[in-house]
Structure 1
Amino acid sequence: MRRSVRGLNSIKVVTKKDGRQYKYRRVGSQLVALPDLPEHHPDFIAAYVAAGAVQPKPRHREGTISALCAAYLSSHEYRRMADSTRAVWRRTLDRISNDRGTAFVVDLRPDHLRKDIRALTPGAAQNRLKAWRSILKFAVEEGMIPADPSVGVKAQRGEVKPHRQWTWAELSKFREHWPLEAPERIAFEVIFWTGARCVDAVRLGWQRVDDDGWLSYVQVKTGGPATCPISVLPDWASTMEADQALFLASVPRDRLIWITTQTGKPRSVKGLSQWMSAAASSAGLPSDCTAHGLRKARAAALAEAGATASQIGAWTGHASLSEIAHYTRQADQKGVLGAKRERESGNTIAQFPKKP
Structure 2
Amino acid sequence: MATTRMPHVKAYRSRGREYLYYRRGDDFSISLPGPENSPAFMAAYKAAEKQFIAERESGGTVADAITLYLSSARYREMKPSSQKEYRRLLDKMREAFGHLIVKSITVKMVDDLRDKHAERPVEWNRLRSRMATVWDVYKKKYPIFVDVNPREESDRFDEPPSDQNRPWPEDVLRTVLTEATPAFRALLIVLLLTAQRISDVIAYTRDQYDPKARTLRFQQSKLSRVGGWMVLHVPALLTEMLEAHPGVDNLLLSTPQGKPWKKVNAEETLRNMRERLGLPRYTLHGLRATGPTILKMLGVENRALRAITGHTSDRNLEIYLRGADNYRLAVETQDKLAETFGSLIREATAEGNQNKQSGATGRASRRTKAELKPSLIRLRK
Instruction: Identify the TM-score tier after normalising by the shorter chain.
Output: 0.5 to 0.7
| Residues in 1 aligned to 2:291 and 2:123: alpha-carbon distance in whole angstroms | 29
SS in 2 for 1:221: helix
- Name the Cα RMSD after superposition: 3.3
| Residues in 2 aligned to 1:323 and 1:136: alpha-carbon distance in whole angstroms | 22
Q: What is the CA distance between 1:145 and its match in structure 2?
A: 2.0
| Residues in 1 aligned to 2:275 and 2:96: alpha-carbon distance in whole angstroms | 38
Q: Which residue of 2 aligns with 1:227?
A: 231
- Judged with a 3 Å threshold, the aligned counterparts in structure 2 of structure 1 residues 284 and 218 are, in CA distance, closer, same or farther, namely same
Greater Cα shift, 105-114 or 305-314: 305-314
SS in 1 for 2:145: coil
- Judged with a 3 Å threshold, the aligned counterparts in structure 2 of structure 1 residues 278 and 227 are, in CA distance, closer, same or farther, namely farther
SS in 2 for 1:227: strand
Q: Which amino acid aligns with 1:203?
A: A
- Judged with a 3 Å threshold, the aligned counterparts in structure 2 of structure 1 residues 79 and 102 are, in CA distance, closer, same or farther, namely same
Q: Which residue of 2 aligns with 1:24?
A: none
TM value normalised by structure 2: 0.59
SS in 1 for 2:199: helix
Deviations 1:259-317 (A, max 9, x none): 43465442333443344333333343212x10011111121344466654333222222
Q: Which amino acid aligns with 2:62?
A: I
Contact conserved, 2:247 with 2:254, CA < 8 A, in 1?
A: no
Corresponding pairs, count: 263
Contact conserved, 2:110 with 2:154, CA < 8 A, in 1?
A: yes
Contact conserved, 1:65 with 1:102, CA < 8 A, in 2?
A: yes
Pair 1:278 & 2:272 matched: yes
Q: Which residue of 2 aligns with 1:148?
A: 148
Q: Which residue of 2 aligns with 1:251?
A: 245
- 5+ residue gaps, structure 2: 1-58, 333-381
SS in 1 for 2:217: strand
Contact conserved, 2:105 with 2:148, CA < 8 A, in 1?
A: no
Q: Which residue of 1 aligns with 2:132?
A: 133
Match of 1:70 among 67, 71, 77: 67
Q: Which residue of 1 aligns with 2:20?
A: none
Q: What is the CA distance between 1:80 and its match in structure 2?
A: 5.3
Q: Which residue of 1 aligns with 2:284?
A: 291
Deviations 1:76-123 (A, max 9, x none): 443455665444323221232244423333432222222223222111
Q: Which amino acid aligns with 1:152?
A: E
Q: What is the CA distance between 1:165 and its match in structure 2?
A: 0.5
- Judged with a 3 Å threshold, the aligned counterparts in structure 2 of structure 1 residues 322 and 142 are, in CA distance, closer, same or farther, namely closer
Pair 1:260 & 2:229 matched: no
Contact conserved, 2:217 with 2:230, CA < 8 A, in 1?
A: yes
Q: Which amino acid aligns with 1:176?
A: T
| Residues in 2 aligned to 1:315 and 1:205: alpha-carbon distance in whole angstroms | 19
Q: Which residue of 1 aligns with 2:162?
A: 161
Q: Which residue of 2 aligns with 1:322?
A: 315
Greater Cα shift, 308-317 or 251-260: 251-260
- Judged with a 3 Å threshold, the aligned counterparts in structure 2 of structure 1 residues 276 and 325 are, in CA distance, closer, same or farther, namely same
- 5+ residue gaps, structure 1: 1-61, 234-240, 339-356
Counting only pairs closer than 5 Å after superposition, residues 1-356 of structure 1 correspond to structure 2 as 63-79=60-76, 85-120=82-117, 121-143=120-142, 145-148=145-148, 150=150, 151-162=152-163, 163-179=165-181, 181=182, 183-210=183-210, 211-223=212-224, 224-230=228-234, 232=235, 244=238, 247-248=241-242, 251-252=245-246, 255-261=249-255, 264-287=258-281, 289-303=282-296, 307-330=300-323, 333=327
TM value normalised by structure 1: 0.62
| Residues in 2 aligned to 1:71 and 1:116: alpha-carbon distance in whole angstroms | 22
Q: Which amino acid aligns with 2:204?
A: L
Contact conserved, 1:108 with 1:149, CA < 8 A, in 2?
A: no
SS in 2 for 1:318: coil
Q: Which amino acid aligns with 2:178?
A: E
Q: What is the CA distance between 1:198 and its match in structure 2?
A: 1.3
| Residues in 1 aligned to 2:146 and 2:85: alpha-carbon distance in whole angstroms | 28
- Judged with a 3 Å threshold, the aligned counterparts in structure 2 of structure 1 residues 255 and 178 are, in CA distance, closer, same or farther, namely same
Q: Which amino acid aligns with 2:201?
A: A
